[in-house]
Structure 1
Amino acid sequence: MKKKITLILAVVVLLAGRPVQGQQAQAFSLKQSIAYALQNRTNLKATRNEEKIARARVGEIRAMGLPQLNGAAEVGNNFIQQKTLFDPGSFGAPSQLDNFTITPEQINSGQPIILQPTYSTPEPDSSRTGLQAITFVQPYTGSLAVTGSQLLFDGSYLIGLKAAKTYTELSRKSMEQGEIEVVEQVSKAYYGVLVSRARMALLNQNLARLDTLLNQTQVMFRNGVAEKLDVDRLRVSRNNLKVEQQKTERLLALSESLLKFQMGLEQRQPITLTDELAEVEVDVTKVNPANFNYSSRVEYAILETQRDLANLDLRNKRAGYLPRLYLNARYGYNGVGRTLSDVLNVRAGASNTIDRNWFDFGYVGAQLQVPIFDGLSKHYQIQQARLALENTKYNFETLRQSIDLQLSQASTELTNSLDVMKSQQENLALAQEIARVAKIKFQEGVGSNLEVVTAETDLRQAQTNYYAAMYDALIAKVNLDKATGTLLSK
């Protein structure tokens, strides 16, 4: 039962991967496949978004140096009014107006009466001396204000702008690294399909040739010229070749699915490849390690950018000892009232000097922040940044050694693969000639059927070895292009 379910699932998966009937096949060369992948691979789209995020980060840091404006409005109830202690005696001894009298003589004199009030110090009243609790806060208050600030100088801000731009450059190079990986994957998958299709075509030719030979042998058997053993041997050889053809056909479908995946193409979309194996140039002599420039490798360029970031980080930590200068300004209104409706009934204006309940205010000034002591925090931060920069320099030597090894390894692999492919090509030509001669000898009655079957088996093995060597050479070519940093430029 379990095997039956597994078989059903396999059939469903196979049918799901089949192209839709009537859907036109789309033709792709290797360059077109790479171009399509660079535009449609989802991981590259995500990497492009990371690059856009880095650019937005630059804008965010730049905005910190632009004017900052904020507005605020508030109305509240001081349900417990704040009080303070007040000493009336702190304003000096109180005075009182002395009594004065107007006499009848002054009234009848007809002269103007001039009043000259006099004041005297009253006797101390023990009930009114000492501290008294009073409040200057109304039950309801409101405020409406606009505040603004402008950064005038901050060493960390200037270095942060440079670091943000460098980080954008790092994102761009990371995007280039992702594109190189996609080009590598698409190229290897494309070559895999080309080799599989060429091998499939050759297997079809072998099967057609073997079918012809089998039919001729059956006629010879019926005429008494050949034995039944000869027919059976050829039939066994044909059955083996048929199985190998079916396996290669399924592997070809799988390699096409892999190519579609690497391109970001819908699996149901049928494709045709326009490039031919004969058109692929494989040349190892053009690689000259003496003229190689490490900067042509994106990994080296990324490390250079990381070194710049580490250097800027060290400068940023040191800039933490510099002062900061800000320009600040505030303007707004404060309102008071005994009730909520009173404070909401705004009465203000310079012409209103009788019953105003809202009063404006304004402030402008400069603020200088000077770091004095932070518990040696910045000292240890600078120490960490200096060591990180030193490690980045060490990584250059490690990367150069790694690139040298990759160049040597890729060049050696390609040279060996080309030698093997040349040898297998000669073996294939010899196997084809042996199979042709064995067939002629058998048909002329001077050779055995076993010799023909053996020659056909050797021929299939030679074909398999040749195309395996060809695929290895193509993969080695891609690896060498990647090692030299020229894969994306092709």
Structure 2
Amino acid sequence: MKKHSSLLLALFVLLSPFGVLAQDSPRTFSLQQSIDYALQNRVNLKVNRNEEEIGKAKVGEIRAMGLPQINANAEVGNNFIQQKTLFDPSSFGTASQLDPFVITPEQLASGQPIVLSPTYSQPEPQPSGGLQAISFVQPYNGGLTITGSQLLFDGSYLIGLKAAKTYTELSRKTTAQSEIEVAEQVSKAYYSVLVNRERMELLLQNMVRLDTLLKQTQVMFDNGVAEKLDVDRLRVSFNNLNVEKQKTERLLMLSEHLLKFQMGMNQNEQLVLTDKLSEVEVDVEKGNRNNFNYSNRIEYSLLETQRDLALLDLRNKRSGYLPKLYLNGRYGYIGVGRTFSDIMHIRAGRDNTTDRNYFDFGYVGVQLQVPIFDGLLKHYQIQQSKLTLENTKIGFEGLKQSIDLQLEQSSTDLTNSLDVLTSQRENLELAEEIARVAKIKFQEGVGSNLEVVTAETDLRQAQTNYYAAMYDALIAKVNLDKATGTLLTK
């Protein structure tokens, strides 16, 4: 019973989704799918895309400087040492005194209105005690203020907005440049795997053919038709071919690991390449200069953006001579009190005219800042910006010359590689025919075993040369596509 339960449990695990996931099923990729996968999973591209988002955030940061800036401030404090000032009471003089007056009985008895005309006299000045220290500050004060400002005009701000957008464009193009480099690396690694796999298949076919010939020769030796030397020569050739197969297996494994790395794939995953070498088109006409545009190269486009940034930087430095205009406003309350509870007990408002301890205030105004002299700071900054812009313009000539050289070199390399590939293909076909004829002659007894071994050795060398030429042609194709700016198009 336990045995049946274990079998059912094992079957359930295999059929469950977890069991399916546990089996490392290989994933199929064409060259374009490999490039698309790499564009989504390469770590450095993720970093570049984050830099793009940082550039977009910088645009918002600069735009925020031109929007209203509003702040609120609340404060309560204790003047534990009250500020004092010196005061001279004599500077205000002495108060006038009302002179005495008398109402007579006759005036009262007359029944007529009595008109009083008070008179004042200045008393004799009394000697003062000199300067006295007094304070006009209450022990506690508090305040609540709302301030606002609006930038009305600033030449640097307007240019800064344009520069921020151009900087975002520069970040995007930098990411595009990294994507082209990734596409180049993935393409070369992909072709390397294709070549090594096809070479591996051909080596296996060679081993099967040589193993069959070795067994046939062994039978001939056992029957006294062949010599032991013939068997030994074929065995040495078979062993050499086996060593070459092992080396190719390790090289194939290494090329697959490299492809996974370039794609940003986990090394433990299995992948199957769907493209075939026979389907790869290699066209020399892509290097035609008549249809080439320098703007197709991302390096040229990047330099154009850098030139725009340098020009905006120069305009920004020049705008430093322009005035700046701000609209400012403030509104708030300031209060005083003798104790903390008094200052926290807010008494204000238009209806309170007797015991107010908080009084409001308001201000609105326009501020104009006019630069007059800065020690020639902006003058030297403008000189630096002019030279930076000039260097950027000079860079176009150097870049064009470099692109022209890359086009000529990559086109020449591809042409030479295709010529070599054609020659090596013919050599391979001849070597295969020679090996086939040598084998037949040996089996018919009209050829020597040494001739067979030599033909097999020449065949392996021809195969090695052919696949090396094929790989060189594919790499030259990738280099030409990159030189013409057509390696990665979206």
TM-score (norm 1): 0.93
Q: Which amino acid aligns with 1:62?
A: R
Q: CA deviation at 1:39?
A: 1.2
1:418-437 alignment, distance < 5 Å: 418-437=418-437
User: Where does residue 223 of structure 2 map in the other structure?
Assistant: 223
Report the counterpart of residue 192 of structure 1 in structure 2: 192
Match of 2:327 in 1: 327
Shift of 1:80: 1.3
Q: Which residue of 2 aligns with 1:13?
A: none
Note the C-alpha offset of 1:87: 3.8
Q: 1:245/1:122 Cα in 2 relative to 1: closer, same or farther (>3 Å)?
A: same
- 1:465 maps to 465
1:97 aligned residue: 98
Q: CA deviation at 1:99?
A: 3.2
Structure 1 letter corresponding to 2:31 = L
Matched ranges for 1:149-298 at <5 A: 149-298=149-298
Q: How far off its partner does 1:134 sit?
A: 2.2
Q: Which residue of 1 aligns with 2:317?
A: 317
For the residues of structure 2 that align with 1:207 and 1:338, how far apart are their CA atoms? 106
Q: Which aligned pairs between 1:24-39 and structure 2 lie closer than 5 A?
A: 24-39=25-40
**Code of the aligned partner of 1:238:** F
Q: What is the match of residue 406 of structure 2?
A: 406
Which residue in the other structure is 1:361 paired with?
A: 361
Unaligned runs of 5+ in 2: 1-20
CA apart distance, 1:40:
1.3
How far apart in 1 are the matches of 2:413 and 2:319? 51
Hey, what's the Cα distance between the residues in 2 that align with 1:173 and 1:218? 67
The number of residues matched between the two structures is 470
- Deviation per CA, 1:402-439, whole angstroms, max 9, x where unpaired? 10111111111111111111111111111111111111
Q: Deviations for 1:215-261, whole angstroms, at most 9, x for unmatched residues?
A: 10111111111111111111111111111111111111111111111
**Per-residue CA shift, 1:313-368, capped at 9, x if unaligned?**
00100100110000000111111001111101111111001111111111100000
Moved more, 283-292 or 293-302: 283-292
Cα distance in 1 for residues equivalent to 2:118 and 2:438 = 151
Paired with 2:61 and 2:178, the residues of 1 have a C-alpha distance of: 26
Cα distance, 1:280 vs. partner?
0.4
| Equivalent position of 2:68 in the other structure | 67
- C-alpha change, 1:104 and 1:242, in structure 2 (3 Å) is farther
Gaps of 5+ in 1: 1-19
Where do 1:105-124 residues align within 5 Å? 105-124=106-125
Deviations 1:168-188 (A, max 9, x none): 111111111111011101111
Report the alpha carbon displacement of residue 285 of structure 1 after superposing the two structures with TM.
Answer: 2.4
Matched to 1:430, the amino acid is: L
8 Å contact kept, 2:140–2:340: yes
Do residues 80 (structure 1) and 66 (structure 2) align?
no
Report SS of the residue matched to 2:232: helix
TM-superposed deviation, 1:85: 2.8
- How far apart are 1:92 and its partner, in Å? 6.0
In 2, Cα distance between equivalents of 1:417 and 1:229: 41
The answer to whether the 8 Å contact 2:196/2:251 transfers is yes
CA distance in 1, matches of 2:300, 2:211: 57
The answer to whether the 8 Å contact 2:286/2:484 transfers is no
Match of 1:396 in 2: 396
Q: Which residue of structure 1 lines up, in the alignment, with residue 13 of structure 2?
A: none
Aligned counterparts of 2:400 and 2:126: Cα–Cα separation in 1:
96
Report the CA distance between 1:126 and its aligned residue: 2.2
Provide the rounded CA distance (Å) in 1 between the counterparts of 2:361 and 2:313. 42
Q: Which letter maps to 1:58? A: V
Give the C-alpha shift of residue 112 in structure 1.
Answer: 5.0
- In structure 2, the CA distance between the partners of 1:124 and 1:428, relative to structure 1 (3 Å rule), is same
Tell me: CA distance 1:21–1:80, structure 2 relative to 1, closer, same or farther (3 Å): closer
Equivalent residue of 1:374, what SS? coil
Matching residue's letter, 1:160: G
Tell me what 2:51 maps to. 50
Which segment is superposed worse, 470-479 or 132-141? 132-141
Once the 2 structures are TM-superposed, how far is the Cα of residue 21 of structure 1 from its aligned partner? Answer: 7.1
What residue identity is the alignment partner of 1:183? A
Q: CA deviation at 1:283?
A: 1.0
Q: How far is 1:118 from its partner?
A: 2.5
| C-alpha distance in 2 between matches for 1:269 and 1:95 | 107
What's the CA shift string for 1:120-178, capped at 9, x where partnerless? 222222215x5433221101010111100000000000000010011111111111111
SS in 2 for 1:23: coil
Question: Counterpart of 2:351?
Answer: 351
Identical positions, percent: 77
1:485 paired residue number? 485
Distance 1:458 1:181 in 2: 38
Kindly provide the CA deviation profile for residues 347-405 of structure 1, in whole angstroms up to 9, marking residues without a partner as x: 11110011111111111000000111111111100010011001111111110111011
For residues 250 and 352 of structure 1, the distance between their equivalents in structure 2, rounded to whole angstroms, comes to: 94
Distance 1:432 1:192 in 2: 24
Q: Distance in 1 between matches of 2:106 and 2:224?
A: 180
Over 3 Å counting, the alpha-carbon distance change for 1:312 and 1:92 in structure 2 is: farther
Q: What is the alpha-carbon distance in structure 1 between the residues aligned to residue 403 and residue 196 of structure 2?
A: 32
CA distance in 2, matches of 1:253, 1:385: 53
User: What is the Cα deviation at residue 22 of structure 1?
Assistant: 2.3
What is the SS of the residue equivalent to 2:333? strand
Question: Where does residue 476 of structure 1 map in the other structure?
Answer: 476
The amino acid across from 2:376 in the alignment is L
Per-residue deviation, 1:90: 4.6
- Checking the alignment, whether the CA contact within 8 Å between 2:334 and 2:360 is kept in structure 1 is yes
Q: Secondary structure at the match of 2:285?
A: coil
- The 3-state SS of whatever aligns with 2:163 is helix
Task: Give the Cα separation in 2 of the matches to 1:244 and 1:220.
Answer: 27
- Residue 94 of structure 1 deviates from its aligned partner by 3.9
Structure 1 position 40 matched with structure 2 position 41 = yes
Quote the offset at 1:93 in angstroms: 6.0
| CA shift for structure 1 position 465 | 0.6
Give the SS at the match of 1:85. strand
Taking the aligned partners of 1:101 and 1:180, their CA distance within structure 2 comes to 114
